[in-house]
Structure 1
């Protein structure tokens, strides 16, 4: 295990993931905040159902049904032997004991309800709110069902949050993972890193499960399908294999999903702008990739060919290399 988690290895990563956590919390706050009236109605319904269940559950105790079995048995024996005085006395005593038990139990319940009602009536607003929550919460919990879900399950957009379940669902839909009996069954990828925020997107490194017969090359070939399943454009998905030199293997994939088109950002000035001199023996700063990493091109002992449609930047691209040569006093153009 690394000393620091992936999201805290650099100040930039720490800042990006902290901001991502803030965006996720703000999204859930808005998502659930607008549904507060719905949640209130659902809570009231669950509390009423819980009150009914509590009443049904307490009724045997209040009605002293623990004494009823003895009374019924003695009554049945008294009908068979009406001349038995001792049996009649025992029936009368059991009936009286049940009646007395019912009286004090119902009386205690009535006193409790009256006291609670008086407390609610006299309580200040803040205390009344706490008392209502203390009563409604256990009643709503009692009224829940096996499939009852109080809060709606919101799925944030990919630019707000990315999790391993989304990745597994996309890989399964693309045929790279076997399907199980349920939605969450079946083999899953092992996330070596992330998903974590990296620049203007999400980065994740994962291993395909063994036994599926799929390799990292199969994942790279499904780039467009995976982008469609993730709900983004394929230009936003950057994938590569993690080779053995970086601790990878034939089933390890590095994926980066941008929030939007990574090539529509503001222009990035070349480092050559601030230099007085430059040596072409060094690799020339050529640009940035989609993730914002600097790309440098060596020109010594190299030949280059530029081709493309008109007005697509061939001349401008060549001028980047020429500018580096102009900063080197020993270069002959």
Structure 2
């Protein structure tokens, strides 16, 4: 059976005419509306797509660049966020803890000694102010008991408005508050009177009377002294140490004159942030700072003088360095006192210890009093600096450490002639002291021997490599410890070596040979 929609439409029209009303079948109305939409759509497409138009597919939108946080994500311990250490940095090493305790003890001892010397002056001032404090405290207690200040402003307002009824209500309220206060004051007065009678007539030990006076007199003197005249003197006119705060760090960074910091802070005051709290770190405080975007910590380190000026501290008390994480993180350490006034800790190997030259040894300390280790093997040392900066001391310390290794052979020449290395002569295979021609000739001969020793050692290493005992083809801890190998550590130290290089006869030859030894001898 074929279905004709038009037939239904004709019947609908007849029904509508006969009944005089309008009956609209919903299905037929929907079909008509659908056909009209399709015809309109076809007509619009025909009008739009002409010869000069090209159909372009719609843009496919991808996911957002920053997707929203998923609340259903389970907890992960490694979420990439930096956690604060469980143990504070001050307590991680005994040296750091010891430095903090020593500084605190020194500061406390100074304060105690300062006030102990002025004790007679403090006693005289306290004795003078104590009677004044007694009468002043009594007057304050009586004034408190009357409860005059409770609603005084309201009572005064009622009196100004000539409202006696309100004033009387407020005064009755004051009297109710005053009753229990008088009771408390009476109890305090009776207790004080009993205590005074016991102090005067009871059999109390002398130390008990002194203790009572030592407690009462300072309290009364504190109440009776003038506001602008303290009993104790100030320990210092200004703070000997300025506590490191975020505001102080921001001000100091702005004073460095870096445009990247100043422009960023002018737009956003929070451009300088602190990923962790400022905390104690050895004999000082450490502030870890995230600088504004595009500013490197090295830029601030290069302007250390301006940074110290912004903090109003000596230069050797402010120590900035790049922090861990990214180039824009600054680790700013500020000591309790300048490094020039801090006491250098004793060398850990001074009294006891053994050194393995294949491993780092304690060489120096940082301003934080942390130990700095240095390595001798596979290194060429060149110690330079201004006159009097401690070059000889540094070299002597390294040689002293090497002398604590029983395998090491020492050959030392001190071309200044003052005997800075004389103490090491008994443990040296070869030692020279002076800048005369004979000593310099011996030093040049030792350098020639060094080059021949490099040739000899290279053959020995090749021999042991063929036997499978030198897998790295260089001197190792095992080869150096092997008896009869001839590959034991050889330490050569020459102080004031410029005297050798400037010598008219041996200088040029010594320089050329040493250049070869420096290149070859590191692995031999």
> 1:277, 1:327 within 8 Å by CA — same for their partners in 2?
yes
Deviations 1:232-284 (A, max 9, x none): 11111111112xxx4x1121011101121224333322222244542211123
What's the secondary structure of 1:307's corresponding residue?
coil
Alpha carbons of structure 1 residues 219 and 5: separation in structure 2 relative to 1, 3 Å: farther
Say if 2:319 is the partner of 1:241: no
The structure that has the greater radius of gyration is 2
> Residue 220 of structure 1 is aligned with which of 298, 301, 313?
301
Tell me the TM-score normalized by structure 1.
Answer: 0.57
> Residue 290 of structure 2 is aligned with which of 171, 190, 207?
207
Say if 2:375 is the partner of 1:291: no
Say if 2:189 is the partner of 1:107: no
Summarize the alignment of residues 123-142 of structure 1 with structure 2, pairs less than 5 Å apart.
123-124=184-185
> 1:179, 1:187 within 8 Å by CA — same for their partners in 2?
no
> Residue 393 of structure 2 is aligned with which of 300, 307, 316?
316
> 2:273, 2:289 within 8 Å by CA — same for their partners in 1?
yes
- Cα RMSD (Å): 4.3
> Residue 248 of structure 2 is aligned with which of 144, 148, 166?
166
> 2:154, 2:170 within 8 Å by CA — same for their partners in 1?
no
Alpha carbons of structure 1 residues 330 and 199: separation in structure 2 relative to 1, 3 Å: same
Alpha carbons of structure 1 residues 209 and 52: separation in structure 2 relative to 1, 3 Å: farther
* 1:187 alignment counterpart: 270
> 2:317, 2:339 within 8 Å by CA — same for their partners in 1?
yes
Displacement of 1:54: 6.4
What's the secondary structure of 1:214's corresponding residue?
coil
* 2:262 alignment counterpart: 178
Deviations 1:5-46 (A, max 9, x none): 7467637678959x98xx99xx9xxxxxxxxxxxx9xxx9xx
Alpha carbons of structure 1 residues 249 and 283: separation in structure 2 relative to 1, 3 Å: same
* CA–CA distance in structure 2, aligned partners of residues 232 and 64 of structure 1: 59
Listed as ranges, the gaps of 5+ residues in structure 2 are 1-82, 112-135, 141-147, 190-237, 411-524
Listed as ranges, the gaps of 5+ residues in structure 1 are 28-39, 45-50, 66-98, 129-155
Alpha carbons of structure 1 residues 315 and 10: separation in structure 2 relative to 1, 3 Å: closer
Alpha carbons of structure 1 residues 126 and 283: separation in structure 2 relative to 1, 3 Å: farther
Q: How many residues align?
A: 238
Q: Larger RCO: Structure 1 or Structure 2 (Cα < 8 Å, ≥ 6 residues apart)? A: 1
